[in-house]
Structure 1
Amino acid sequence: MNTQDHPASESKSCGSCEHGHDETPLPRNALVIISGALLGSGMLLQWLKLGPVQLHTACFALATLAGGLLVFPAAFKALKKARLDMNVLMTVAVTGAWLVGEGAEGAAVVFLFALSEMLESWSVGRARRAIASLLKLTPQTTLVRGADGVTKEMPVAEVVVGAEISVRSGSSVPLDGEVIAGESAVNQAPITGESVPVEKKPGDPVFAGTINGEGSLTVRVTKAASDSTLARIIKLVEEAEEQKAPTQRFVDKFAAIYTPAIFLVALLVALLPPLFMGGAWSEWTYRALVLLVIACPCALVIATPVSIVSGLTALARRGVLIKGGAYLEAVGKLRALAVDKTGTITQGRPQITSVIPIGDIAEEDVLRRAAAIDVHSEHPLAKAVVAAAQAKGITWIESSQYKSVTGRGATAIIDGHPHFIGNHKMAHELGLCSPDIEARLTEIEIKGQSLAILGHAPHEGCNGKVLGILSIGDTIRPEAANALTLLHNAGIEKVVMLSGDNQRTVDAIARLAGIDEAYGDLMPEQKIEHIRRLMTEHHYVGMIGDGVNDAPALALASVGIAMGAIGSDTAIETADMALMKDDLTRVAEAIALGRRTLRIIQFNVTFALVVKAIFLILAFTGHTSLWLAILADTGATLLVIMNALRLLGAAQTTKQ
């Protein structure tokens, strides 16, 4: 999320092309077809020597006019703004061709240029339509149960939050909601990209656009149609596609200088040889026109936006949201990855595995006091303590003066006495870690388990003491080891775990998962120091975290990544990259596709420049024609587009 990588909200992806296809309300496709038909007719008549020359000329003139309606108005607007763009360049070339008596070539130039514009528009549109088509997964109407128990069909857009809807077997879920009756397996692939259906029962969330299985569900609507997770995903991807990547901004700046420079060079080519070298005006004017045509940077300018849009769309269809071209490029450049432990490498569902009373206190009383403090916290470990107390039917007493201690734990008053519950470091800082306590803690930590220590906090007249130890287990994600292998295969040089948990627990988890380096007992500001160090060593660093304790580190990293963002508006809105499913392998997929996108952009830009360079040399030496120049330009544009569109299917595998 480093500011150097932040994309500015700019014009549309293809807006930088400065073509005429967005400048006119005229039917572009029809005009291109008419222009091509007239050009072909004129050439055929000329080749067969049928009809008078005037008929041939009329065909070429009408072909020029039809294609020119897509170019000339845009050129006029550019000139009014004192700007030289590709439309002006083509207009001058076409006009010049007619003035030197090459009407057929002038018509060919305007037709092929208009055709290349149409191809560019189609290519970007295809990628955008691929993500927008997800909206078709949601039905237009749904069955709503009224207060009187009668079910009636209503437009999805009119269904309000809180309404109860029926989802039949085999149908699409129309709105986000919570299951209140029925059980079924739901295919969430349109949002998460996972192929295995997820079992749903009362209390579970369901999302618009997912496909219900064999069971029938009654769902209470939690979000309006316009605010569903699917609608937000589509909106965010469309916004991301509007933002320019660094490569695109560079190409746009280059084109802004390059195009006027070409005009100047062409003018010198047309004037200097006839004036000072005795060259023929017609010959050097023609060469200048060829120079203008071949110099048109269509393929160069379209190379990046089509690649970016295709890459963003491919990942979105696999359940990975990236906030724009700048972040997709940054993902493709990542060399190191920092990960949180809980919820990233582990399942994020910690459970109390044992309660160890210290002294003459009962196990139930340890859990009761611990829950009395932790009921005020949203931390995953605190929730595990409360859940364990509830499971045992333990009711806890009220606590007061609750205070969270960042990176350590919490304190509160219970029965008039200050209590604390926290990690190893907190107990150590309070001076309560006796050799016996240390031995017990070490035994838990080397197993890779977390712990919470409950005790009386030192205060006036009391030195404090440990009342009990709660060991907390959280299983490693089954795909973690494979994901680490895929990340290294994708080019990640180092994966580092940054955790607030104790060092021994972190080391044990890191060994099991195959993580390169692990650092525990970290405060949020210490995580920032590690991110800075990694950025110094590897330049581009990603951070996967929960967005709460890790917020500063996520903000500093080149790319901040949130896992399991499905149903989480905050994660979807704030992360640079959000995974709809809790699956680390998707990070490897995104990195691999980001690298592939960069390679395709680099190839496309290089290819476009090489083609231009070759034909510019041929233009200077008089070894090419307007025909070949425009065919080369259109051909290069078409090849660049087709190469970029390959990315639409690239997310099917992580192996590039």
Structure 2
Amino acid sequence: MSGEHHSEESSHGGCDGCHGDSRLPQGLLVTVSGVLTGLGLAFEWFVPSQTWLATGCFLLATISGGLLVFPAAWKALRARRLDMNVLMAVAVTGAWLIGQGEEAASVVFLFALSELLESWSAGRARRAIASLLKLSPETALVTDSSGKQVERPVGELEVGTEVLVKSGSRVPVDGVIVTGNSAINQAPITGESVPVEKQPGDQVFAGTINGESSLTVKVTKLAGDSTLARIVRLVEEAEGQKAPTQRFVDRFASYYTPAVFVAALLVATIPPLLFQQSWTDWLYRSLVLLVIACPCALVIATPVSIVSGLTALARRGVLVKGGAYLEAIGKLRALAVDKTGTITQGRPQVVRIVSLQGVSEYEILAKAAAIDTHSEHPLAKAVVDEAEKRDVIFTPALDYTSRTGRGAEGRIGGHPFFVGNHRMTHELGACTEEVKARLAEVESAGLSLAVVGHMPHDGCSAQALGIIAIGDALRPETREALRLLHDAGLEKVVMLSGDNQRTASAIAQKAGIDEAIGDLLPDQKVEHVKALVIKHRYVGMIGDGVNDAPALAVASVGIAMGAIGSDTAIETADMTLMKDDLTKVAEAIVLGRRTVRIIQFNVAFALAIKAIFLVLALMGHASLWMAIVADTGATLLVILNALRLLRN
């Protein structure tokens, strides 16, 4: 089972029957089939004298579940193709011919249930793409020849057109800033955890969010060629490349089914015609052969194992969209992970405070919070949150002034103070050699910083009082999760991030990740995932943002962080962590591998039983009742083996 997922068909080849012929909802048919099967068994056990009640329930259950199988089997036969549906039809018909209505009803119900579980993922890609498109505004503000600002559809904008992007609104196009300075939240596109300061000449992307002030942006790409539009196309292409996963049993059926019919015909006719043997004797052997060949155990070997595995994972807070993906999870050899919101918590936090003039951390934080309480910038919010967490008492600064691309200043206790970046500190003349050394230390760790200092005034020179280091902290379970992933047999874990390489490397080193690659746009993430697939074949990708959606679709298994993940990432992914607990990925891999082993054993066991009794039937040593016992016994053992997956 390769990375070929997101198929519109189910892996059993039953799509036509499930979606084309049945006019009733698939879930309703499966439910009716299951309820009637249960009622039939209850009547058989508790009211054995009224056999017609049980038989009626089994017949209706078979018809209900069969509406999802028999029409597809008929289509396959008309197309001269023998698939899993034909195999199922043979199994169910054979069971009824020998009077095993309960077995026919049970098998068709289990098979229909498996189809239902795997069909839920159909159509998800379209909804994912629709949610992507909503990120970009449909119109943009442009200045007409008379100098008035008018709205124009984004699709009509030409390269070179200048558009106005107001504070707090989304950027409608890919372009270059002509005038204005602002912090742009690029998380929807690049996944960066902190807004990026932009100035004239810098590039901006459609769908990103403008922060502090208005910008004039010159269009550099048509709407259909924007980075966001490319993400949409990448998802579409990845979805379109996925073909239905053909299970071994389905492929085997194309040879097994005709071979059984030919063998039964030859057994019934050749001995009487060529060797004057008894027609009755050899017709009986032919019937035994057909009964033995009814592939009940073989048919449900995979579905029951898959249902058990999916249920066991759901209990652990892991939602997997279908059996094909569960099998692929069990075969993973490498894992690509996003940084922001996946390895880290996805929000800036104060990591440490560095005192420069013997000033206490309390006082540094109080002065910074007094100024930053006026700002909505994520770094400013992190400072204020830290002050409140430490019960620091502060009064909002007076005369607050924001310095775009630098920081802010305000008056505290009658004196002017500032909170700013390295650039502002240097421009104010407060960047001494000691300050430079401390700033370099913080920056080398991949952390953002806020320098707190005294503004120059009344003959007093500027002075830096302290440095607040701000970063996106690791999730509490990250290190343990990485250890468990390696213990589960993964050969390599690679972090793919939109953040700069220095920050990505620092985070990877702390987390214990094998390799970190930063400064990536969505299409570059896709290329790295493709390279991993070529090298390791089975590769998983964990992400939470829109920018991760194409990479999630390209991977063998796309894994989304459920609680914080964007709708697009969740819709595109094959597995969702409902509790955002990375340790669950290792659990899923271990359980997926158990599932694969049980499926392989069940299929091999079912085939071995068939082979043994087929030989006995041809030799005349197997009776009809032995065939029934062998088939029912093998089916029961396969089910019990698969149900072991439900144990905690």
Same fold flag (TM > 0.5): yes
For 1:277 and 1:601, the matched residues in 2 are separated by 43
Aligned residue number for residue 542 of structure 1: 540
User: Aligned pair in 2 of structure 1 residues 93, 585: CA closer, same or farther (>3 Å)?
Assistant: closer
Aligned residue number for residue 447 of structure 2: 450
Aligned residue number for residue 634 of structure 2: 636
* Structure 1 position 471, deviation (Å): 2.7
* Structure 1 position 510, deviation (Å): 2.9
Name the amino acid aligned to 1:584: L
Contact 1:5 1:330 in 2 (8 A): no
For 1:452 and 1:124, the matched residues in 2 are separated by 58
For 1:127 and 1:494, the matched residues in 2 are separated by 34
Name the amino acid aligned to 2:6: H
Aligned residue number for residue 106 of structure 2: 118
Aligned residue number for residue 483 of structure 1: 481
For 2:562 and 2:108, the matched residues in 1 are separated by 35
Contact 1:375 1:383 in 2 (8 A): yes
Name the amino acid aligned to 1:325: G
Name the amino acid aligned to 2:5: D
User: Aligned pair in 2 of structure 1 residues 412, 11: CA closer, same or farther (>3 Å)?
Assistant: same
Q: How does 1:35-184 map onto structure 2 within 5 Å?
A: 86-87=88-89, 91=93, 109-111=98-100, 114-115=102-103, 117-118=105-106, 121=109
Contact 1:124 1:306 in 2 (8 A): no
For 1:554 and 1:26, the matched residues in 2 are separated by 38
Aligned residue number for residue 296 of structure 1: 294
CA deviation map 1:23-62 (0-9, x unaligned): 9899545656777999x99xxxxxxxxxxxxxxxxx9999
Contact 1:449 1:472 in 2 (8 A): no
User: Aligned pair in 2 of structure 1 residues 553, 65: CA closer, same or farther (>3 Å)?
Assistant: closer
Name the amino acid aligned to 1:110: G
Q: Structure 2 unaligned runs (5+)?
A: 19-28, 79-85, 118-241, 357-363, 410-419, 424-430, 452-463
User: Aligned pair in 2 of structure 1 residues 365, 538: CA closer, same or farther (>3 Å)?
Assistant: same
For 2:278 and 2:570, the matched residues in 1 are separated by 65
Aligned residue number for residue 280 of structure 1: 278
Q: Is residue 333 of structure 1 aligned with residue 321 of structure 2?
A: no
Q: How does 1:248-327 map onto structure 2 within 5 Å?
A: 249-252=247-250, 254-255=252-253, 258-327=256-325
Q: Is residue 597 of structure 1 aligned with residue 586 of structure 2?
A: no
Contact 2:543 2:569 in 1 (8 A): no
Contact 1:337 1:495 in 2 (8 A): yes
* Structure 1 position 255, deviation (Å): 3.1
User: Aligned pair in 2 of structure 1 residues 548, 62: CA closer, same or farther (>3 Å)?
Assistant: closer
User: Aligned pair in 2 of structure 1 residues 257, 500: CA closer, same or farther (>3 Å)?
Assistant: same
* Structure 1 position 285, deviation (Å): 0.9
* Structure 1 position 589, deviation (Å): 0.7
User: Aligned pair in 2 of structure 1 residues 395, 515: CA closer, same or farther (>3 Å)?
Assistant: farther
Contact 1:319 1:581 in 2 (8 A): yes
User: Aligned pair in 2 of structure 1 residues 453, 638: CA closer, same or farther (>3 Å)?
Assistant: same
User: Aligned pair in 2 of structure 1 residues 285, 254: CA closer, same or farther (>3 Å)?
Assistant: same
User: Aligned pair in 2 of structure 1 residues 370, 275: CA closer, same or farther (>3 Å)?
Assistant: farther
Choose from 557, 582, 585 the match for 1:584. Answer: 582
User: Aligned pair in 2 of structure 1 residues 245, 610: CA closer, same or farther (>3 Å)?
Assistant: farther
CA deviation map 1:527-573 (0-9, x unaligned): 33332222222112222223144344333322222335179756544
CA deviation map 1:212-245 (0-9, x unaligned): xxxxxxxxxxxxxxxxxxxxxxxxxxxxxxxx99
TM-score by length of 2: 0.57
Q: Is residue 6 of structure 1 aligned with residue 3 of structure 2?
A: no
Contact 1:544 1:562 in 2 (8 A): yes
User: Aligned pair in 2 of structure 1 residues 66, 546: CA closer, same or farther (>3 Å)?
Assistant: closer
For 1:395 and 1:288, the matched residues in 2 are separated by 97
* Structure 1 position 608, deviation (Å): 1.3
Name the amino acid aligned to 2:556: S
* Structure 1 position 606, deviation (Å): 1.5
* Structure 1 position 588, deviation (Å): 0.8
Q: How does 1:165-204 map onto structure 2 within 5 Å?
A: none
Contact 1:116 1:634 in 2 (8 A): no
Name the amino acid aligned to 2:263: V
**Structure 2 SS opposite 1:348:** strand
Contact 2:332 2:540 in 1 (8 A): yes
Q: RMSD of the alignment, in Å?
A: 5.5
**Structure 2 SS opposite 1:619:** helix
Contact 2:91 2:295 in 1 (8 A): no
* Structure 1 position 366, deviation (Å): 9.2
Q: How does 1:393-404 map onto structure 2 within 5 Å?
A: 393=396
Q: How does 1:551-570 map onto structure 2 within 5 Å?
A: 551-563=549-561, 565=563
Contact 1:120 1:302 in 2 (8 A): no
For 1:469 and 1:625, the matched residues in 2 are separated by 87
* Structure 1 position 288, deviation (Å): 0.9
User: Aligned pair in 2 of structure 1 residues 302, 344: CA closer, same or farther (>3 Å)?
Assistant: same
Contact 1:248 1:304 in 2 (8 A): no
Contact 1:339 1:543 in 2 (8 A): yes
* Structure 1 position 370, deviation (Å): 8.8
Name the amino acid aligned to 1:8: E
User: Aligned pair in 2 of structure 1 residues 593, 92: CA closer, same or farther (>3 Å)?
Assistant: closer
User: Aligned pair in 2 of structure 1 residues 316, 28: CA closer, same or farther (>3 Å)?
Assistant: closer
Name the amino acid aligned to 1:118: S
Q: How does 1:408-427 map onto structure 2 within 5 Å?
A: none
Aligned residue number for residue 198 of structure 1: none
Q: How does 1:197-236 map onto structure 2 within 5 Å?
A: none
**Structure 1 SS opposite 2:99:** helix
Choose from 625, 629, 646 the match for 2:644. Answer: 646
Q: Is residue 519 of structure 1 aligned with residue 517 of structure 2?
A: yes
- Please, which moves more after superposition, 290-299 or 554-563? 554-563
- Please, which moves more after superposition, 290-299 or 300-309? 300-309
For 1:279 and 1:339, the matched residues in 2 are separated by 69
Q: Structure 1 unaligned runs (5+)?
A: 42-58, 96-108, 130-243, 403-409, 415-420, 425-432, 455-466
CA deviation map 1:420-443 (0-9, x unaligned): x9999xxxxxxxx99999855541
Contact 1:128 1:313 in 2 (8 A): no
User: Aligned pair in 2 of structure 1 residues 2, 389: CA closer, same or farther (>3 Å)?
Assistant: farther
Q: How does 1:610-625 map onto structure 2 within 5 Å?
A: 610-625=608-623
For 2:53 and 2:558, the matched residues in 1 are separated by 55
Q: Is residue 607 of structure 1 aligned with residue 605 of structure 2?
A: yes
* Structure 1 position 292, deviation (Å): 0.5
**Structure 1 SS opposite 2:469:** strand
For 1:484 and 1:524, the matched residues in 2 are separated by 24
* Structure 1 position 289, deviation (Å): 0.6
* Structure 1 position 295, deviation (Å): 0.8
**Structure 1 SS opposite 2:474:** coil
Contact 2:327 2:592 in 1 (8 A): yes
User: Aligned pair in 2 of structure 1 residues 322, 597: CA closer, same or farther (>3 Å)?
Assistant: same
For 2:593 and 2:472, the matched residues in 1 are separated by 33
TM-score by length of 1: 0.57
User: Aligned pair in 2 of structure 1 residues 396, 26: CA closer, same or farther (>3 Å)?
Assistant: same
* Structure 1 position 576, deviation (Å): 2.5
